[in-house]
Amino acid sequence: MKNIVIGVASAIVLVLLLFCIYTLQGEATRKTESSDSITQAMENAAAKMTEDEEVYTGNEEFRTAFVQNLMLQLDSASDVKVKILMSDYQKGLIQAEVTQHYKTPRGDEKDVTQTRTILVEKNKKNP
């Protein structure tokens, strides 16, 4: 009987430990994913700016290209809020804050927020 109680208690502790590890690993994964996704989306949106021709006619097109690229990059199931803090397509500058809102396995709601800025140097035509 004593061995059964120890076995059940050990199993419960193991399940709780695995649950905690899963929760912590999930948060770290979301932070890494959002960080990498923002950077990649900014680089993709700005990549067109390094070409000789003008591809954006205004800040709205530049912002839209960034948001579209970001949505393609994100994989996890979460609600995403994108806040463009600053953008200037003529200078190749964009700064954004992305917040992912998700539920943990325990049912708690958490947010992961990342802020990134990118400045793209455009190719200049030689006279």
- pLDDT score of 50: 62
Share above pLDDT 70 across residues of the chain, in percent, rounded to a whole number: 90
- pLDDT score of 53: 58
Report d(CA 41, CA 67) in Å as an integer: 7
- pLDDT score of 8: 93
Q: Check whether 125 has a pLDDT greater than 50.
A: no
Average pLDDT estimate for 102-114? 84
Share above pLDDT 90 across residues of the chain, in percent, rounded to a whole number: 13
For residue 48, what is the DSSP state? Answer: G
Q: Do 118 and 93 contact (CB within 8 A), yes or no?
A: yes
Q: Where do the domains of the chain lie? A: 2-119
Summarize pLDDT for 9-63 with one digit per residue, the tens.
999 999 989 888 887 887 788 888 888 888 888 888 777 766 655 677 778 888 8
Report d(CA 99, CA 112) in Å as an integer: 6
Q: Taking each helix axis as running N to C, give the angle between helix 59-73 and helix 2-47, from 0 to 180 degrees, rounded to the nearest 10.
A: 150
Report d(CA 61, CA 84) in Å as an integer: 13
- pLDDT score of 14: 94
Alpha carbon distances (Å) from 87 to 35, 55, 66, 80, 91: 19, 15, 10, 19, 9
Q: What does the mean pLDDT of the chain come to?
A: 81
42 against 122, higher pLDDT: 42
Q: Check whether 127 has a pLDDT greater than 60.
A: no
Average pLDDT estimate for 58-71? 84
